[in-house]
């Protein structure tokens, strides 16, 4: 736990400036968007942009957090620490979530204020719980995706010295595609096994993020707790596999 | 009385796809000795150092460091300085040292402070603002301030200006104690010759000459640097 905390702090310190800058950019975008809502399409575009931009940021940053260590050779220092590979990757995933939380915070607060204004004060009493729960659930999905991206990145890095850069890049794409397919299948399967667990009421909002079959656009009144647990389990499996690849196959 | 081997490398090979980086390398190092791993660029020195540091797995053969397979537990007792610049540019010198101190129980903060002064480095300086020579000195402090059983220095003089080389050599000499082992890989033999107890010469991933440094000098009637020049020219 101590090493996990140290590595987490190192990750946060290393990316402190970028995180603050990201927060400032999202906050500025939301403020400008809110101020120019009556001038379409820019106002709406700026307000909706984080909804698409932040997931892309998660994916790009997760890839970057692995490749950065290899590109700037800091992987030599990192891998010479008396720390298990699982701890290194878990610290990276937790730091990524924290940074994602910070960067998305201005958007989440901004959207809540806009919903509240648009609904004449009805939104908050009725949807506070659902809104917060949906936000937390996106973080759970981001955690699983971080594990998958780490696995794909490290699989690519393991292939590059043996078969070249192109083979490494193809390997990354293949692991990502297979991982997403597996995640959708396994989440549905695990959710069925865990269906004896109680469901979390959602009131329809936010259920587009998660469903019993993984990603689905169908709205539903409740989210099975088993689905959430399934995402956590998959995140753990992806991180563990990534750690195995790092320990046995990846070269610095 | 049996002498404990700090490093045992048995018939180790390392392949990267079709490329063979090391071929059937075997060596042993007893506690308190200094081994020079010598060879030109591309001879397999850095690959051998990475394997001993536990950063890479051999394709064949066996490595034992302090009696164990390289891994997290041996990394706690081995200080490794790679050839490449492995410092975080966004951190300050003191932050790098603090991180090292927190991860390694054998890190001596007093010695680190002395070495900083000796190596003419400022604790508050950002790593990204340091010159190549200064960064090489900082890497060395991270390793030499530890009371590690084994120190692995991979090409510590490579690409460094002569004054920095001299500082680095003085730093190694000042901190070397008889109870810890040191393996130093280099193709700049003159700078490090006085340190070596034993040497191995590598070429195309194979050891073709190995032995006690003093015995080799007497046998050939020349310095290790002269043997190096003769063998590789």
Q: Is B48 among the domain residues?
A: yes
Q: How many residues does chain A have?
A: 252
Domain count, chain B: 1
Q: Is B35 among the domain residues?
A: yes
- The strand pairing partners of A200, in sequence order, are A223
Chain A residue numbers with beta carbons less than 8 Å from the beta carbon of B86 are: 73-77
Kindly state the average pLDDT of the residues B88-115.
94
A68 part of contact set with chain B, CB < 8 Å = no
Per-residue DSSP letters for A192-208?
HHTTTSPEEE-TTTTTT
B192 lies in which domain range? 5-85+151-232
Q: What are the DSSP E strand ranges found in B84-197?
A: 150-154, 181-186
Whether residue B205 is predicted with pLDDT greater than 90 in this model: the reply is yes
Q: Is B134 among the domain residues?
A: no
Among A14, A65, A80, A88, pick the best mutation site for testing chain B contact (most B Cβ within 10 A): A80
CB within 8 Å: A73 and B99: no
Q: Is B41 among the domain residues?
A: yes
Of residues B106 and B170, the one with the higher pLDDT is B106
ipTM: 0.91
Closest CA to B100 of A217, A6, A129, A250: A6
Q: What's the confidence (pLDDT) of residue A201?
A: 67
- A94-103, A203-212, B186-195, B197-206: the lowest-pLDDT one: A203-212
Taking the CA atoms of residue A96, residue A158, residue B40 and residue A76 in that order, the dihedral angle to the nearest 10 degrees is 20
Closest CA to A95 of A129, A125, A75, A66: A66
A72 part of contact set with chain B, CB < 8 Å = yes
Chain A residue numbers with beta carbons less than 8 Å from the beta carbon of B76 are: 82
Q: Is A130 left (phi over 0), alpha (psi -120 to 50) or beta?
A: alpha
Dig out the tokens for A83 from the structure. 């720390």
Residues 6+ apart with CB under 8 A from B112: B97, B100, B101, B141, B145
Distances (CA, A) of B203 to B157, B207, B210, B216: 20, 6, 12, 18
B60-65 and B5-16 strand pairing: antiparallel
Chain B residue numbers with beta carbons less than 8 Å from the beta carbon of A75 are: 86
Whether residue B185 is predicted with pLDDT greater than 90 in this model: the reply is yes
Contact between B199 and B38 (Cβ < 8 Å): yes
Q: Is B169 among the domain residues?
A: yes
Among A1, A3, A82, pick the best mutation site for testing chain B contact (most B Cβ within 10 A): A82
Per-residue pLDDT of chain A (252 residues; tens, 9 = 90+): 889 999 999 999 999 999 999 999 999 999 998 888 777 777 888 888 888 899 899 999 999 999 999 999 999 999 999 999 999 999 999 999 999 999 999 999 998 888 888 777 777 776 777 778 878 888 888 999 999 999 999 999 999 988 889 999 999 999 999 999 998 888 888 888 888 887 776 655 444 444 444 434 445 556 777 888 888 899 999 999 999 999 999 988
- A152-156, B60-64, B118-122: the lowest-pLDDT one: B118-122
Whether residue B166 is predicted with pLDDT greater than 90 in this model: the reply is no
Q: What's the confidence (pLDDT) of residue B3?
A: 63
Q: What are the DSSP E strand ranges found in chain A?
A: 199-201, 222-224
CB within 8 Å: A14 and B91: yes
Of residues A80 and B187, the one with the higher pLDDT is A80
Among A77, A158, A171, A249, pick the best mutation site for testing chain B contact (most B Cβ within 10 A): A77
Q: What's the confidence (pLDDT) of residue A208?
A: 41
Closest CA to A158 of A61, A64, A241, A72: A241
A126 part of contact set with chain B, CB < 8 Å = no
Whether residue B112 is predicted with pLDDT greater than 90 in this model: the reply is yes
Percent of chain B with pLDDT over 90: 70
Contact between B197 and B217 (Cβ < 8 Å): no
Chain B residue numbers with beta carbons less than 8 Å from the beta carbon of A76 are: 55, 80, 82, 84, 86
Distance from CA of A79 to the nearest CA of B (A): 6
Closest chain A residue to the Cα of B76, Cα to Cα: A82
Q: Is B122 among the domain residues?
A: no
B73 part of contact set with chain A, CB < 8 Å = yes
Whether residue B90 is predicted with pLDDT greater than 80 in this model: the reply is yes
Angstrom distance (rounded) from CA B73 to CA B75: 5
Closest chain B residue to the Cα of A18, Cα to Cα: B90
> How many other β-carbons are positioned within 10 Å of the β-carbon of residue A38?
6
B98 part of contact set with chain A, CB < 8 Å = no
Closest chain A residue to the Cα of B88, Cα to Cα: A74
Distances (CA, A) of B178 to B38, B67, B132, B182, B213: 22, 20, 30, 10, 17
Distances (CA, A) of B147 to A25, A238, B80, B183: 46, 37, 12, 15
CATH of the domain at B19: 3.40.50.300
Distance from CA of A146 to the nearest CA of B (A): 22
Chain A residue numbers with beta carbons less than 8 Å from the beta carbon of B57 are: 248-249
Q: What's the confidence (pLDDT) of residue A136?
A: 83
């Amino acid at each position: 736990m101590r090493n996990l905390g140290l590595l987490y702090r190192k990750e946060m310190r290393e990316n402190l400036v970028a995180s603050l800058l990201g927060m400032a950019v999202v906050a500025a975008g939301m403020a400008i968007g809110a101020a120019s809502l009556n001038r379409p399409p820019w106002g709406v575009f700026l307000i909706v942009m984080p909804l698409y931009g932040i997931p892309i940021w998660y994916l790009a940053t997760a890839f970057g957090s692995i490749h950065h260590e290899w590109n700037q050779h800091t992987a030599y220092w990192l891998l010479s620490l008396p720390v298990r590979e699982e701890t290194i990757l878990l610290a990276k995933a937790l730091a990524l979530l924290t940074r994602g939380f910070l960067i998305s915070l201005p958007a989440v607060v901004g959207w809540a204020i806009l919903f509240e204004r648009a609904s004449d004060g009805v939104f908050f009493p009725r949807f506070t719980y659902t809104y917060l729960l949906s936000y937390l659930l996106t973080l759970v999905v981001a955690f699983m995706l971080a594990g998958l991206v780490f696995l794909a990145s490290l699989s690519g890095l393991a292939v590059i010295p043996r078969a070249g850069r192109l083979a490494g890049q193809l390997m990354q794409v293949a692991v990502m595609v297979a991982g997403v397919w597996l995640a959708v299948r396994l989440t549905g399967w695990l959710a069925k096994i865990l269906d004896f667990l109680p469901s979390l009421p959602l009131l329809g909002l936010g259920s587009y993020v998660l469903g019993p079959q993984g990603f689905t656009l169908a709205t539903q009144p409740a989210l099975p707790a088993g689905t959430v647990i399934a995402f956590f389990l998959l995140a753990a499996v992806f991180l563990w596999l990534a750690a195995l690849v790092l320990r046995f196959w990846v070269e610095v | 009385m049996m002498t404990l081997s700090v490093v045992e490398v048995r018939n180790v090979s390392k392949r990267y796809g079709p490329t063979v980086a090391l071929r059937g390398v075997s060596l042993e190092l007893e506690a308190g000795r200094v081994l020079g791993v010598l060879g030109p660029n591309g001879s397999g020195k850095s690959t051998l150092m990475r394997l001993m540091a536990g950063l890479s797995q051999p394709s064949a053969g066996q490595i034992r460091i302090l009696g164990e397979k390289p891994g997290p537990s041996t990394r706690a007792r081995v200080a490794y300085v790679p050839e490449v610049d492995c410092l975080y540019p966004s951190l300050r010198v003191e932050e790098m040292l603090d991180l090292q101190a927190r991860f390694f129980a054998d890190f001596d903060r007093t010695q680190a402070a002395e070495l900083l002064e000796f190596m003419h480095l400022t604790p508050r300086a950002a790593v990204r603002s340091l010159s190549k020579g200064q960064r090489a000195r900082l890497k060395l402090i991270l390793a030499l301030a530890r009371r590690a059983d084994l120190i692995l220095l991979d090409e510590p003089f490579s690409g460094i200006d002569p004054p920095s080389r001299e500082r680095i050599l003085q730093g190694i000499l000042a901190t070397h104690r008889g109870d810890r082992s040191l393996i130093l890989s280099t193709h700049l033999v003159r700078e490090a010759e006085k340190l070596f107890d034993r040497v191995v010469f590598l070429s195309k991933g194979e050891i073709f000459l190995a032995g006690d440094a003093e015995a080799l000098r007497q046998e050939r009637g020349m310095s290790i640097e002269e043997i190096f020049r003769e063998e590789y020219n």
